[in-house]
Every structure is written in C-alpha cells, then in structure tokens.
Amino acid sequence: MSEPKRLFFAVALPDEIQQQIIHWRAAHFAPEAGRPVEAANLHVTLAFLGEVGAEKQRALSQLAGRIRQPGFTLTLDDAGQWLRSRVVWLGTRQPPRGLLQLANLLRAQAARSGCYQSPQPFHPHVTLLRNASHAVAIPPPGFSWSFPVNEFVLYESQFSRGRTRYTPLEHWQLAE
C-alpha cells in the first residue's frame, strides 16, 4: 500500500512571469520581511486536497479530466498580507469568471470525495512570502502581470531537508 500524498490543484505561472515576480519581490520587500517562496513554487491554488491515498487520487484525477471549460487570462495586479497566517500574497483585483468556476468545480469535487475544504471564500493568490512576523509595506498599485491560463495541474507537496517542493503529477488542458 502506497503512502498518502499531500496534493492540491493549481494554476502554474509561466517561467517568465515567475522570474519577473521574483525580481519585483526582491525590489519591494526587505529580506527580513519573510521567507520568500521559491520561483518554481509560485502558483495559484485552486483546491487543496490534503493527504490523499492512491485510490482517491485516481478518482479525483478522473473527475478533473471531465472538466470542460474555456481557458482565460489571469491578471495579477493586487497584493496584501494576511497577518494571522503570516503570508504576503499577490492576487487579482478582478478574478476572471473562468478561474472562479474552475476553483469551485474542483473544490466541490474534492469535498464530495471527502477532502476537507476551507469554509473561507476562495481568494485566488500567489504566496510571495511566508512567516512574515510583522506587517510589511505593500507596494502601491501599478504592478501587473497577465498570462493566458490553458491548463491546470495536480501537484504533490513534499517537505524534505527544510524545503518544500511542489511536483506536478498531472496536467489537464482547458478548452480553446
């Protein structure tokens, strides 16, 4: 019997956008502001699944594969901080309808499959910094990154040697 995996569905950021965000973050946040998330780990979580066994993973993958909806453009043009969870984030002022629909579908399927879903409303974001122990100055509006979203991904989260790595396990295309 295989060990359960810590899984989540997400939208990956294109490499070029990841690098631009990393440079922007370095220019706007002091090193002591918090622990920066690695460029390769930047993503927008759609549905967190938690610890999932192989059988449930297969079922969730089959359900994800049945989703038929068009792609959309995502614009990251907002930022903020959640003091309680000690996170600094990058988000979107106007979440595209396609993003909200995709997240709602995946979260509903996960809940029906027995994966706990937070009662908090979905707030699409990219985590920039973790362990931000005090309030940080958020850069003024004017920053913006836009990119087409043509797929979503099932990731495994693994913690090893003090680092978290997100490994893509499966990809699903959105309709043209």
Q: Identify whether the C-beta of residue 118 lies closer than 8 Å to the C-beta of residue 48.
A: yes
The model's pLDDT over 127-159, given as tens digits with 9 standing for 90+, comes to 999 999 899 999 998 999 999 999 999 999 998
17 pLDDT exceeds 70?
yes
What is the rounded distance in angstroms from the CA atom of residue 139 to the CA atom of residue 163?
A: 27
91 pLDDT exceeds 90?
yes
What is the rounded distance in angstroms from the CA atom of residue 94 to the CA atom of residue 124?
A: 10
Q: What is the mean pLDDT of residues 103-132?
A: 93
Active site amino acids: 43, 125
Task: Using pLDDT thresholds of 50, 70 and 90, give the confidence band for residue 1.
Answer: low
How much of the chain exceeds pLDDT 90, in percent?
Answer: 88
Backbone angles phi, psi at 151, to 5 degrees: -155, 165
Mean model confidence pLDDT for the chain: 94
Of 152, 155, 151, 149, the residue nearest 169 (C-alpha): 155
Q: What is the mean pLDDT of residues 103-127?
A: 93
The pLDDT assigned to 159 comes to 86
Buried residues in 6-20 as b, exposed as e (16+ CB within 10 A): bbbbbbbbeeebbeb
What is the rounded distance in angstroms from the CA atom of residue 90 to the CA atom of residue 79?
A: 4
Q: What is the mean pLDDT of residues 56-74?
A: 95
36 pLDDT exceeds 90?
yes
